[in-house]
Amino acid sequence: MEDGALQCIQGPAEVPMMSPNGSIPPIHVPPGYISQVTVRNGSGPCVRVAKPLSHNEDVISPLIGEYPFLGNMFTKCDSSMQQPNKQQKNRLNFKQLCFVIKLESVCILGPQVSNVQSRSALVSWTSVSVLGSSGQVPSCGYELQLKDKGRDGKYKVVYSTVCNSVKGPSSDARAFTTHSAPPDTPLPPRLSHRTKSSLTLQWKGKKNSIFREYYVGHQRHCKVMRLYPAVGYTFRVAALNDIGTSGFSTEVVFYTTGSLPQTSLPPWLVQAGPSWVTLEWMRPNSCSTEEVVTYTLEMQDETKVLNSPLPPHPIIPLCRSYYGFLGEWHSAPSSLLVCKTTPDRPGPPVNPAVNTVTYHSFCVTWGRKIFKSTFYISKSFINWATLYRGPERKHLCEDRKPATSYSLRLSCVNVGGQSQCSDDLTVCTHIPPPGRCQPPIIVGNVKHKEMTLQWDGPLCGEESENVEFSLEMCAMEEGSEPTEVYCGCKAECTVGNLLPGTTYRFQVRAANSAGYGPYSESVEISTAAGPPGQCRPPAINVMSHTCADVTWENKESSGIDISEYRLDWGRDLDSLELVYSGTETYFQISNLEASTDYCCRLQAVNQAGAGPYSDLVTCRTPAAAPDVVSGFCLVDHPLNPTESEPFSHSTCLALTWDEPRCNGAEMTSYSISMGDSIITAGNVTCHIIRDLLPDSEYSLQIRAENEMGPGPFSQTLTVRTRPLPPSPPRLECAAVGPQSLKLRWGFSSRSQLTDDTTYVLQMEDRNQRFVVVYRGPSHTFKLQRLSESSRYRFRIQAVSEAGEGPFSETYTICTTKSLPQTLKAPRVVQLKGNACEVTWESIPPMRGDRISYVLQVLGGRGSDYKQVYKGDETSFQLSGLQWNTDYRVRVFACRRCADTLQELWGSFGPSAHFNLRRSDATLAVEADVTRVSMGNTLTDEQFAGLMVFGVASLSVLMAFLLQLLI
């Protein structure tokens, strides 16, 4: 009941079940009874407890099972199952649904509905089991049916499982209501009626223009007032409920109706052309300024129509002279307008032709005869002049300039106007031959082999343009023929290859495209006296590899004495330099290089100038001994070391030098002077002097030798050998372990120990290569992380300022084997009687060596540990022990070396203490290795621990009591 009390009702009875969320609580009925849920109009669900079943009927007992998930599979339900409240009535888009479950062969309780959403809900029910008459449990299946309020009202199966063919009765229906949701996007509104100033819209349910909210309400139609006639408006609609607002529908455009325009006035002609006319018309007075008026302009005999929102000025192309137009405003058409196009101008005439061209005139002709022709002429295609106007078809152009280009064009004229001009025609008058030129004159001074002539062309005029000149020369000797020496456009020419002191006759004439003009008057011109002629080649007498004598013959000049001779000397033609200038016919050249090619040439000079060079003469100086060796110095390391002969700075000197000039003979050897001895080296640039005294000074000189003999010695080089490097120390092992070695070294005598000595310790790796493991001044070094029972090879050397000393002999040191690890304290378990079992941890074999264990016991009357077991096992039973006696046991491991048959004993592990006590309750007591006898007194540490535990427990209890009081 509502107050929580229980009321006993004798069945069958119907109990109203009131639940705030509409769910049915679990129903508990006595054995043999069943509960049925029914739904009544206005009173909600009720539970009906049925009578007990007879012995012949099957017993049904409800079982709690899993809730199956149904998803979104729904069917409409009858609206009479449950009425919504007032708040739900004001919401949109909700459904009242009912579920019915059929249990095969038996009846099942009504389903439970939970997790209700706008479009989904979770349905669950209690599983049942059926016990048949034969005692077997047949398989049961479920069928979930759903019906929706707003559709046909019939149940439809939305969930089913595999079951037998026999079906039981359906359970009571369970009704529920889905949650509300925002409405769906409605369809766009449609137009039901329109006038000039209003639109009536209805609806059932993006351009970024600015929309104004016009209507909000429950109606599905509205009338929009105060609109403009013949104007389009864009509309969209959205639905709204308590949950939210749907999206807007697609946009639609509707137009208001317009006024019927009056009969328009006919259009009038504004302007006419040969193939076009311009028309205008008036806007009807009956249309307001906001209305958009469309005009239709028609031609009477062809489909030429122009649509425009404003009165235009169209240009209509026509094909005939007379046309009619009709203006229509969706009303009566206007009256006809008849207009006339103007005559067209003629087309361009045929291109004119030119014939009978002379120096000063030409004749032009053209095509068919027309009303009148206009003939134009121009020189630059810019300024055109009218040359002829009339009906004739040819014209003679006189008084023209010769060799001049003229451009011609032609046009026609009739009543319609003047045509376009024809293509331009170019004609050029002929060029006359040039006139007589002026005789040539001399420009500048006359030279002995050339002169420069200049002349004036024919008189200025058209014939002087594009003129070439031809200059002819003729010697004064009898029988000489004139020769053309120049032909070109310039009025100036330089004539060369002339003889000095000779007279020549010159004349010139001009030529153009019409031909040559007459020769000018001839003129005689003489050349000046010339420079000397080419000298004979000089003679070279090589005196030594550094000196040579050059001699030549005296050359007679043509009419002028020789003022000087010029001698050029060098190694080749490009390196020739002036080495002598004078009147002598002899010159000695020194400071030459041995075995080198030289060349020379000679030139004579007089008052007229310098003559040509003689032929080139070559010579070669003889070979000589080499030059002085340079770059003689001492180096730290030899340039070409050899492994067979080791190098030591204490007894050896590494020398190097630069190869000098061989002076034409191949280099054979080098000689090194060291005191009174001479050391000979081959044709190389380095050498090692061995077997010297350590820490000694030497003075050295070197010279080169070739086939011609030895060269001079170089400057003295003073060098000094280094002291002897230290000998290797004696290496020994100071300590050895399984994974480590400690090495130490030292000298047998104190004299070899210095502060600046560094030691290099090397160890051989797996590839039989020695690697450095230590470098420093210390005398000891410890190596870690080595392998047990392994051999290692070492060597050592000492390094000082004198250099690196030799390595010591190789030392071989072997690491020892590892001892077994220390075991933990054994565990002791008391057995029946006065016996116990001792167990301990095991150790795996070490590098193939077996591990054995030794157990020792201390107790009883003895004061020392006694060995009681040795073997490979990890447990041992002790018997014959005394009651109430303290015992201690300990274990250590032993490694049995297979190669040396040696046993390596590990250290003792911690001992375990135990005490055998007689007990009447049980004989199996496990001895704790860390337990202390209860008869013993507590230690200070144990007493302090008990005090801390007591205080902590009391604090927790007080905190719990305070929490309960608060």
Integer Cα distance of 888 and 813 in angstroms: 42
Task: Report yes or no: 53 and 59 within 8 Å, Cβ to Cβ.
Answer: yes
Nearest CA among 585, 580, 589 for reference residue 536: 585
- Select from 933, 911, 916 the least CA-distant residue to 857: 911
CA distance 854 to 269: 139
CA distances from 762 to 120, 413, 770 (A): 84, 121, 6
Provide, for the chain, the percentages of residues in helix, strand and coil under a 3-state DSSP scheme, each rounded to the nearest 5: 5, 40, 55
Please name the residue that has the structure tokens 């300590």: 735
DSSP 721-781: PPPPPPPPPEEEEEEE-SS-EEEEEE-SSGGG--TT-EEEEEEE-TTS-EEEEEEES-SEE
What is the dihedral angle through the alpha carbons of 572, 574, 579, 581, rounded to the nearest 10 degrees? 120
331: left (phi over 0), alpha (psi -120 to 50) or beta: beta
User: What gap in Å lies between CA 702 and CA 717, rounded to an integer?
Assistant: 9
Give the list of residues 6+ apart from residue 894 with CB closer than 8 angstroms, or none. 820, 851, 852, 853, 854, 870, 903, 904, 905, 906
Residue 261 CA to residue 371 CA, distance in Å, equals: 53
Q: Would you tell me how many other CB atoms lie within 10 Å of the CB of residue 669? A: 14
pLDDT of residue 78: 35
CATH number for the domain running over 827-916: 2.60.40.10
* Burial of 534 per CB tally in 10 Å (0-12, 13-18, 19+): middle
- Count Cα atoms within 13 angstroms, Cβ side, for 119: 5
Q: Which residues of the chain have pLDDT under 50?
A: 19-20, 39-45, 51, 53-105, 131-136, 206-208, 302-329, 559, 751, 920-937
Specify the DSSP element, H or E, that contains 954. helix 940-965
Tokens of 148: 């929706």
Contacts of 964 (CB under 8 A, 6+ apart): none
Domain range summary for the chain, segments of one domain joined by +? 112-176, 190-256, 269-279+294-340, 350-428, 441-524, 539-620, 633-720, 730-815, 827-916
The answer to whether the CB of 487 falls within 8 A of the CB of 472 is no
If residue 949 lies in a helix (H) or strand (E), which one and from where to where?
A: helix 940-965
The pLDDT value given to residue 165: 60
CATH 2.60.40.10 fits domain 633-720 = yes
Q: Are strands 372-378 and 405-414 parallel, antiparallel or unpaired?
A: antiparallel
Q: Which two tokens stand for residue 882?
A: 């005394």
For 539-620, CATH gives 2.60.40.10
Q: pLDDT tens across 634-667, in order?
A: 998 887 776 667 788 888 999 999 999 888 889 9
Q: How far apart are CA 40 and CA 263, in angstroms?
A: 76
Structure tokens at 800: 């000082």
| Alpha carbons 966 and 959: distance in angstroms, whole number | 11
Distance CA(316)–CA(276), nearest Å, equals 5
Q: Tokens at residue 708, please?
A: 């011609």
Are 650 and 694 in contact by the 8 Å Cβ rule? The answer is yes
* CB-based contact 619:596 (threshold 8 Å): no
Q: 441-524 has which CATH code?
A: 2.60.40.10
* Structural element, H or E, at residue 796: strand 791-800
* Cα gap 770→754, rounded to integer Å: 26
CA-based Rg of the chain, rounded to a whole angstrom? 69
In whole angstroms, give the CA distance from residue 243 to residue 634: 104
Positive or negative torsion for Cα 863, 868, 873, 879: negative
Return the structure tokens found at 859: 């107790």
* pLDDT for residue 174: 82
Burial of 613 (0-12, 13-18, 19+ CB in 10 A): middle
Strand partners, 687: 655
Instruction: Give CA 582 to chain center in angstroms.
Output: 78
Same fold, 190-256 and 730-815: yes
Top CATH class, 190-256: mainly beta
Structure tokens at 850: 């077996």
CATH superfamily of 730-815: Immunoglobulins (2.60.40.10)
Give domain 350-428's CATH superfamily: Immunoglobulins (2.60.40.10)
H-type alpha helices, 467-584: none
Closest by CA position to 128, among listed 146, 145, 110 = 110
pLDDT at position 471 is 93
Which residues are within 8 A (CB) of 750 and not within 5 positions of it... i.e. 6 or more apart?
A: none
What is the model's pTM?
Answer: 0.34
Residue with tokens 């049904």: 60
